[in-house]
Structures are given as C-alpha cells and as structure tokens.
A and B are shown apart, each in its own frame.
Chain A
Amino acid sequence: MIDRVRAFVKEAGVPRLLIAAFVLFLFGMAFVTKMDLGGLVTDSIVRVARNGILVLALLPAIQGGLGLNFGLPIGIICGLIGCVVSLNFGLLGLTGIFAAWGIGVGLAIPAGIGYGWLLNRTRGQEMMVGTYLGFAVVSAMSIFWLLAPFKNPTLVWAIGGKGLRTTLSLTGIFDRVFDKWLQFTVAGVTIPTGVLLVFFGFCFLVWWFFRTKMGITIAAARSNPRFARAAGISDERTRIQASVLTTVLGAIGIVVYSQSYGFVQLYTAPLLMAFPAIACLLIGGASVSKATVTHVIIGTFLFQSILTAALPVTSQVIEGDISETARLIIQNGMILYALTRVGGSAKA
C-alpha cells in the first residue's frame, strides 16, 4: 500500500501534487465562503480551452531542443495580423476565423524559419534570445499597428482615423464562435464544447505529429545531437522545423484565444503572453528538455484553475483590492517554482 502511494507520488511528481492540492484548497475556500462554485468551474474550463493551444505551442520547441519558447509572441503577432486583416475585410463567423488562421499561419511559417535560423546561431541561449526577440518584435509591431494602412472605421481610432485601436471588439464578428458551438449547461457549469474540441483536436494533432517520422526525427535530434548526426540527421534543420511549428501554433492559438475572449488585443498585449503559457507547461510536469501533451493538458488545467479561483478567494479573504498584485505573485511564483524543478516529473 505504502509502496503504491510512493509510486503514485513519484509518477505524478511532488510539484504537481502540491499544486493540485492548492487548487482543491482554493475551491474548498470558495465553497466555504459561499461563492458561486458553478461559475468558478465554468470560468476555469473556459480559460483552459482559451489558453490551451498557446501552451501546446511550446511543446514543439521543447521537443526540438529550443527550450521554453519565450519567443512565443512572434507567433502570436502573426496570428494577430491574421485577425486584423480578417476584420478589415469584414469577414464574419467561421469564415473570419479560418481567414485569420490562414493568414496567421502563412506569416508564421517564414517567421518561424527566421526565428529558427537565429536560434541556430545562438545555440545554448535560446530562452534568453527568444525573450528579447519577442520583446523586440512586439515593440516593432506597436509601430506597425499605428502606421498600418487599415481603413475600416471599426478598427482605427475614432479621433484622427489613423492607427489601430488597442483593443478590437469581436462582438458580432467572430466573438465566441467556437465557445458557443454545442455549448450546454449541467449543474450550473457551462461547458464550451466547441472550443474544448478545438483544443483537444490540436492536442491530438501534435501528439500524432510526434509519432511520425518527422516528429521522431525532431525529438531524436534534441535528445542527442551527436547521435542524430551519426544517423545522418541535420539537427539545424530539425530545430528550424521545431521553431516553425511552435510559431505556427502560436498564431493559431491567439486566434482561438481572441475569439473566446471576445477581443483582439494589440500593441503591448502579446509582450508577456509567453509567461503564463510557460508556467502552465512547467506546472504540468514538463522540463526544459522534455514535455508531452499530457503535461500541456494537466498544466493548463492546474494553472488556469488557480488563477480563476485564487483571485476571488483572496479578495474575499483579504479585504481590499489586491487581485492584480496577487495574480502577478501567483503567476510568477509558479514560474519560478516550476523552473526550480527543471527535472520535470519522472514520467509523462
């Protein structure tokens, strides 16, 4: 019996168990303080599906040996351009989403190749380079948003008529198109079926990809570059493939995020988007060098549940509004904690 408990703890990993216990504790507190439990669970699920693909986007980078992709904003920007162009043409519903995906992916492929090229020249410092490249690209794009020749009056500033607004509402365009598809409510919990299906669909695709020849090659080159060279694999090439994939998934992920959130956020919004995604993955039990789809799903669920539950609970318990401060402490604290556990869990 004790052996089985021990085996379970080892399998699940202490960090994951601690955080799962914390999630349960928060929901317990919510229950005790008589908060709207159904609403909290609904929020958690929506946030899991909303952020899931952005977390999933990190996986090819880790599998390809690029470490945690702090340069995720590069892919996000590609997806945002896709959204804005789609909005500018006034495309509605699924058409709008698919147009945004198409344009975003189209931009993400060359961007990913360039990013991969750069990372091949800065080997060993991928995470640092990714962080700063992400910052630089976001800043450069802030200028682009101001100067871009978009004319659609719903997108540009009302006064002056030049430059995109910081937040574009998707109401009536493709706001929550996926979320609302097959949505149903059980026991006060609303399940956004469509967006969950999209998330799990992409999870399946990524899982499947890493069981194909190309996926296995990418993972093998990460696992031992010298072995790969002996097998005739160019690890520079596999690293570029990984960086393209992570950037493409970032572009797809932000479109899903935006439609679920109901707004497209421009300018500095993508700046810090890599950080929560990375926290999710690490909490899920991934390490800097190994991650699986299971890590993505578990991690996103744990992290997003904490964020949804912690804020109302803390503001309930501690008088006064410190929710934003608390969110930052919790989020960055979890990243830090997870980074100290770089070994990850024993097994996926």
Chain B
Amino acid sequence: MSATSTTKGRPALELRDVVKEYEGNRVLKGVSLTVEGGEIHALVGENGAGKSTLMNILFGMPVIHETGGYGGDVLLDGAPVRFTAPVQAMAAGIGMVHQEFMLLPGFNVAENIKLNREPTKRNPVSAIFGPGLETLDLPRIRKDARAALDRVGLDIDEWLPVAGLPVGHMQFIEIAREVDKEKLRLLIFDEPTAVLTETEAERLLDSMRAFAKQGVAVLFITHRLDEVRAVADRMTILRDGEVVGRPDPKTTSVIRMAELMVGRPAAARAVRRDASATAETALAIEGLNVRMPGEPVEDVSLTVRRGEILGIGGLAGHGKLGIANGVMGLYPATGRVLLDGEPYALNDARAALRRGLAFVSEDRRGVGLLAEESIELNVALSALEAQGRFLRPFPVPALRPLDGRAMRAHAQEMIRRLDVRTTGPTQLVRRLSGGNQQKVCLARAMTLAPRLMFVSEPTRGIDVGAKERVLEILTSLNQDEGMTLVVTSSELAELRAICDRIAIVYRGRVAAILAPDAPDAEFGLAMAGEVGAA
C-alpha cells in the first residue's frame, strides 16, 4: 500500500488553484492538492482554515453555488468536473462520510444503506405506471447491506433499526452506505473519529486502510494528528485558506504538524507589560464542567487575575469555547466559581450580567446579534435589560419607556470609537459586514461597563483590516481602562499577540498555561495533549 504514484494513472482527484470568496472574504486562496487511487491523503487544519469549504466545493453543495461559485479546477481522473449538486458528485463516484450522521433513525440498517438505490423487481403495476412502483427486492437489499457491513467490519444485524444504536455503529453504517455504492473512486471522511471511542476509532482507521488497499482514493479530514501519523500516506496542511505545508506524515512529528497548523505568532505588535504576579484574583474557577455540545468542559480549574488578558486556546472540540459559555450561564454548568472572592451562581445568565460580567459570543449570528434590529438597539439592549439604562422614569418599572435620544447618542459614540463602517445608528445589523457586526457585539458588551469580559473567537470570519482593529480595541480596553479580559480563540497567533498568559485546553481540561513567548513546540505539545497539566 505504498503510495508512490506511478505515471500510468492520473490522480483520482486533483484540485488546481481553488479559490472561494464569501462576501468579499477570501476563505480559499488557491488550494491545490492531489489524491491518488489507493492512497490515504490527510487534510488537516484548524477551524476556519477552509477545509469544510473545500469539501462543499468537492461535493457540489448548493451553498457554494448560491454564493457565486468558485475559481480554479477540480479534476476527477484527469477530467475537469464542476458539480452544482451533491447527486452529481455521488454519480461521479465520490462518497462522503459526514461528521453529523445523515441517517434515518426510524429505518433499519439495511434500508439506510440502500436508501434511494434499492434494487427492485418489475411488477404489473410498475409496467404500467413506471419504475417508481417496482417492488423492492428485499433479499438482495439484505444481502448487499450485509456485504457492505462486512467490508467495514461491523458485526450487527442488518435489520436492526438505526435509532438507539451506539454512535460508533452509526458512523460505520454511514461508511457502509458509501462503500455499497458502485464505482466508488474517492471516499471523503470528514472528521469521522470525533464522536468515536478509541477502539472504535482504531477500527475505523483499519477500514480506511482496507479501502485504500482496494484502490479507492481516501481523503481524510481530521484534527487528530496522531491518527494522521498512523494512517496517512501524504498530508496537506491548510491555514487561513492556504496550503502551508505538505510534510511527510510518516516522518514528521506531531509537534511540527501542530505548529504548521496553528501558525507562528504575528510580528510582535505591542510590547506587553508584565502582568504583575501579585495581582489579585478576579475570577477563580474550580472544577468547572460544562455540557456544551461539541465543546464539553470537564473539570477545568483556572484563575483569572485582575487586569490581565488571559487567553484560552486549543484545538476545536476540546472545550475551550465551553468555558466562557458555561460561566456566562448559556450552557448547563457545574463547579465552584468565585468572582472577586464572592460566590458566584452558575446557570443564571441574568445574574452573570448583573455581577459585572459581559460576553462576546463566538456565535455572532446565533447568539450575539439581533440581526433584524438596528445597530443602536443592539448596542443598548444588554445594558437596558440588565441595568435599566437608556430608559426614562415611569411609575411602573417594567413599563419605563425607552430614552431614544440617549440610546442614539451612545450608539453614535460607539460607532465612532470602534470605527464601525455604517450608514448610521439605525442601520439594520444584518446589513453590516462580519467585521462591523463583531464591533457591534463588542460595543454591546462594552456598554455594560463590565469588570470582566469574555470574548470568544473575536476575529473569526472577519477580514484582515477589521481583525487588526478588533485586537486593538481589546488591547486598549485592557491597557487604558484596566478591564480584565478572557479571550478564547482558535488562532494561537492572535492570542500570543495580545495575551498575558495562555491556557491551552485539551479534551476538556487545561493542559498547560503558557507565556505568550513560550516556544512553538510547547504550544504544539499542549494542543496535542502531550504534557501533564502545568
């Protein structure tokens, strides 16, 4: 199963200089890669690196088409293709194992595997009304499903309903469905091991090897670098929509891979003053558990010092986002938290705001904004709700009317201060670009005049200029106003540019707390979970 490509065959898949823009934001900047038949090619990169966009292009997802298509070429067996619907991709022999299961829970295993491709027999009715009414060939469905399950090494009955099976089994059923397709040439695994236990993951890697042996080209997307080392013949590392390296997975260390993935710190921007070691504790978190789907936190203990910028980093899915969400009461959390030495009640979003905390969510569109409302209302709303600001007096407190003038004046000041590019405070937030929406989120949190502010993924999905501006705002809040900040980000480089200390989270726990100028290797190790808690 060596992947030395012979000259006789063209690569099963070739991407040439693929470019994609979303509303002026370039998410893929000329990505090229090839996958040979019979090889396993790993595609790794942080969240937002462009992996899923690349997959959407390959699979002809409508979202690509609707946002203006893409540039560059996709070639299958040397022939250029341009899919506009997933069916076309499937017909061309591309199979995809999704991160989220696309199975019908009420149907049994065999039905799920053969769905919409059922072998049928003709009958008198279908002779008149067409093939849609042909009889299902149940024995063959069972037989084919059995064969597919055997190929992936899943030893379960094919007539069991899918609902209630362990997630690991569901993942294998997904794979069996793809395997069952005839003329399968390219199989894409999109972070397939994310939900599996270790033994299940091991089995999955085995079946991946087996496919490659049968001559199928395998494209394996993952965060887990040890798995890359275990199965991949070649690898491509993406960062910010660009290929940053194609190291040999057999000989490159996990640390080196992690370094390439997260990037080096940007040229040191401002010289950070030292957070004084004697600074008092602003927030003490002990044994925090947060049930946030996809980002679970398990037993995190962390101290935030007054006046510092604490960074929280780590790979996606390891729980770094869960910490802020848990403390702010957005997801169920347990643990002991002290704010300024006083006990702090978890699971109460209103109390969090009242106690002087503020949160800029990583989910800007989902949690962060009222997209259909004006900038001024978005900026004022949290303070209006939690602190009763921007209201005029009225005998009944709940019916205090809005002080529109104060709200507008405040919005105008924020627009000026944060340099929001807008036609005015009454513009709908939906119409702003990502970067400006982020500034509105920041403005709302700042309006609360918090003692401590959580900021998650402050620069995700915004353009370079706005990125700079957002980071400047954060630094200035900290340095000029002494605000304590906890910044969670997937971009290690930006954490290293603005933070005093950086906690790296691995599998829901703090793996290490590092200084921003610690060597790349230490960050790489911590992200790969190869060190004990510091």
Q: A229 with B349: in contact, given A217-B385, A290-B372 (CB under 8 Å)?
A: yes
Measured CA separation A216–B386 after assembly (Å): 13
Judge whether A214 is part of the interface by a CB distance below 8 angstroms: yes
Judge whether B92 is part of the interface by a CB distance below 8 angstroms: no
Number of cross-chain contacts by CB at 8 Å: 79
Chain A residue with minimal CB distance to B386?
A232
Q: A213 with B384: in contact, given A229-B349, A230-B361, A231-B353 (CB under 8 Å)?
A: yes
A216 B349 Cβ-Cβ under 8 A? no
Least CB distance, B362 to chain A, in whole angstroms: 12
Least CB distance, A211 to chain B, in whole angstroms: 5
A212 B353 Cβ-Cβ under 8 A? no
Judge whether B277 is part of the interface by a CB distance below 8 angstroms: no
B349 A227 Cβ-Cβ under 8 A? no
**A133-155 vs B, Cβ < 8 Å mask (1 yes, 0 no):** 00000000000000000000000
The one of A212, A219, A223 that contacts B399, using a Cβ cutoff of 8 Å = A212
B359 A216 Cβ-Cβ under 8 A? no
- Please provide the chain B residues from 323 to 353 with a CB less than 8 Å away from any CB of chain A in the complex: 328-330, 348-353
**B424-459 vs A, Cβ < 8 Å mask (1 yes, 0 no):** 000000000000000000000000000000000000
Measured CA separation A235–B400 after assembly (Å): 20
Judge whether B371 is part of the interface by a CB distance below 8 angstroms: yes
B370 A232 Cβ-Cβ under 8 A? no
Contacts of B419 in A (CB 8 A): none
Contacts of B399 in A (CB 8 A): 209, 212-214
Least CB distance, A228 to chain B, in whole angstroms: 9
A226 B385 Cβ-Cβ under 8 A? no
Chain B residue with minimal CB distance to A241?
B398
Contacts of A229 in B (CB 8 A): 330, 349
B371 A224 Cβ-Cβ under 8 A? yes
Judge whether B402 is part of the interface by a CB distance below 8 angstroms: yes
A231 B361 Cβ-Cβ under 8 A? no
Contacts of B388 in A (CB 8 A): 213
User: Which of B330, B351, B366, B399 has the largest number of chain A CB atoms within 10 A?
Assistant: B399
**B378-391 vs A, Cβ < 8 Å mask (1 yes, 0 no):** 00011011101001
A232 B394 Cβ-Cβ under 8 A? no
Contacts of A227 in B (CB 8 A): 367-370
Least CB distance, A87 to chain B, in whole angstroms: 33
Chain B residue with minimal CB distance to A210?
B402
Chain B residue with minimal CB distance to A230?
B367
Least CB distance, A88 to chain B, in whole angstroms: 33
User: Which of A224, A226, A227, A229 has the largest number of chain B CB atoms within 10 A?
Assistant: A227
Contacts of A223 in B (CB 8 A): 370-373
Contacts of A217 in B (CB 8 A): 385
**B34-78 vs A, Cβ < 8 Å mask (1 yes, 0 no):** 000000000000000000000000000000000000000000000
A213 B398 Cβ-Cβ under 8 A? yes
**Interface residues on chain A, number (Cβ under 8 Å):** 21
Contacts of A232 in B (CB 8 A): 329, 348-354, 385-386
Q: A220 with B370: in contact, given A212-B398, A232-B385, A232-B386 (CB under 8 Å)?
A: yes
Judge whether B294 is part of the interface by a CB distance below 8 angstroms: no
Least CB distance, B9 to chain A, in whole angstroms: 50
Judge whether B130 is part of the interface by a CB distance below 8 angstroms: no
A212 B400 Cβ-Cβ under 8 A? yes
Measured CA separation A209–B400 after assembly (Å): 9
Judge whether B80 is part of the interface by a CB distance below 8 angstroms: no
Least CB distance, B367 to chain A, in whole angstroms: 5
Judge whether B106 is part of the interface by a CB distance below 8 angstroms: no
Judge whether B245 is part of the interface by a CB distance below 8 angstroms: no
B401 A208 Cβ-Cβ under 8 A? yes
Measured CA separation A223–B353 after assembly (Å): 20
Q: A231 with B373: in contact, given A211-B401, A212-B398, A226-B366 (CB under 8 Å)?
A: no
Contacts of B384 in A (CB 8 A): 213, 216
Judge whether A233 is part of the interface by a CB distance below 8 angstroms: yes
Q: A233 with B368: in contact, given A212-B399, A213-B399 (CB under 8 Å)?
A: no
B381 A224 Cβ-Cβ under 8 A? no
Measured CA separation A146–B330 after assembly (Å): 52
Measured CA separation A275–B80 after assembly (Å): 56
User: Which of B368, B381, B391 has the largest number of chain A CB atoms within 10 A?
Assistant: B381
Measured CA separation A220–B378 after assembly (Å): 9
Measured CA separation A223–B378 after assembly (Å): 11
Contacts of A290 in B (CB 8 A): 372
Contacts of A213 in B (CB 8 A): 384-385, 388, 391, 397-400, 402
Least CB distance, B145 to chain A, in whole angstroms: 35
Chain B residue with minimal CB distance to A233?
B385
**A171-214 vs B, Cβ < 8 Å mask (1 yes, 0 no):** 00000000000000000000000000000000000001101111
Contacts of A209 in B (CB 8 A): 399
Measured CA separation A290–B372 after assembly (Å): 9
Measured CA separation A289–B372 after assembly (Å): 10
Contacts of B330 in A (CB 8 A): 229-230
B401 A224 Cβ-Cβ under 8 A? no
Contacts of B398 in A (CB 8 A): 212-214
User: Which of B361, B386, B401, B404 has the largest number of chain A CB atoms within 10 A?
Assistant: B401
Least CB distance, A144 to chain B, in whole angstroms: 34
Least CB distance, A199 to chain B, in whole angstroms: 22
Contacts of B349 in A (CB 8 A): 229-232
Measured CA separation A290–B366 after assembly (Å): 19
Contacts of B350 in A (CB 8 A): 231-233
Least CB distance, A210 to chain B, in whole angstroms: 9
Measured CA separation A211–B401 after assembly (Å): 6
Chain B residue with minimal CB distance to A347?
B428
Chain A residue with minimal CB distance to B328?
A230
Chain A residue with minimal CB distance to B325?
A230
Chain B residue with minimal CB distance to A226?
B367
**B515-526 vs A, Cβ < 8 Å mask (1 yes, 0 no):** 000000000000
Measured CA separation A289–B352 after assembly (Å): 30
Contacts of B328 in A (CB 8 A): 230
A231 B371 Cβ-Cβ under 8 A? no
Measured CA separation A290–B374 after assembly (Å): 14
Measured CA separation A216–B363 after assembly (Å): 22
Measured CA separation A64–B382 after assembly (Å): 18
The one of A211, A220, A224, A230 that contacts B359, using a Cβ cutoff of 8 Å = A230
**B395-421 vs A, Cβ < 8 Å mask (1 yes, 0 no):** 001111110100000000000000000
Least CB distance, B326 to chain A, in whole angstroms: 13
- Please provide the chain A residues from 284 to 324 with a CB less than 8 Å away from any CB of chain B in the complex: 289-290
Least CB distance, B351 to chain A, in whole angstroms: 7
Least CB distance, A85 to chain B, in whole angstroms: 28
Q: A231 with B401: in contact, given A220-B370, A223-B370, A224-B369 (CB under 8 Å)?
A: no
- Please provide the chain A residues from 219 to 249 with a CB less than 8 Å away from any CB of chain B in the complex: 219-220, 223-224, 226-227, 229-233
Contacts of B385 in A (CB 8 A): 213, 217, 220, 231-233
CB-defined A-B contacts under 8 Å, sample of 21? A211-B401, A211-B402, A212-B391, A212-B400, A212-B401, A213-B388, A213-B391, A216-B402, A220-B370, A220-B377, A220-B381, A223-B370, A224-B370, A224-B371, A226-B363, A229-B330, A230-B330, A230-B367, A231-B353, A232-B349, A233-B350
A residues contacting B by CB (< 8 A) are: 208-209, 211-214, 216-217, 219-220, 223-224, 226-227, 229-233, 289-290
A220-B377, A289-B372 known, 11 other contacts, Cβ within 8 Å = A208-B401, A211-B404, A212-B394, A212-B402, A213-B391, A213-B402, A223-B372, A227-B369, A229-B330, A230-B367, A232-B385
Closest 9 CB pairs of A and B: A232-B350, A232-B349, A223-B370, A212-B399, A214-B398, A211-B402, A226-B367, A212-B401, A231-B385
